[in-house]
Amino acid sequence: MKTLKCIITFLFMTIVFLNNSRAQSNSLTIDPDKMMVRIAELEIKAEHIDEYISILKEEAEASIRLEPGVVCIFPIYEKERPTEIRILEIYATKEAYESHLQTPHFKHYKSATFDMVKSLKLVDMSELDFDTMKDIFKKVVE
């Protein structure tokens, strides 16, 4: 049940970021067979949490603003354990993800936060219902 609640929360928050992404690039067409969805699960050292969040926010904003293939980089945290960060990442294609890894803002994020991260797990995901997801995002945009 907790996992379902997390997934629902991720989808809701993604709506907000996709709305922002669409506003900036209306020409992006997503093929669900090529889309890459990932959840990054991180634990951050408590003494670095404020600095980490600041750097992560900058990286997420730059990724959405500068990279057409980045649909969503949406960081969230557990309310009862704020050092537990989750990042929902949606890329138009695997190539967009690979390109993202080469950007200056991502490289800065990785190098600046390397010693702040206690653990990192990357979980590849798949959407359950792409057509409904598109309808949800349209509803928010309208």
Contact 6, 84 (CB under 8 A): no
Q: How far is CA 89 from the centre of its chain?
A: 3
Structural domains of the chain ordered from first start: 2-141 (3.30.70.100)
- 30-84 pLDDT tens trace: 888 899 999 999 999 999 999 999 999 999 999 999 999 998 898 999 999 999 9
DSSP letter string over 7-21? HHHHHHHHHHHHHHH
Q: What is the pTM of this model?
A: 0.76
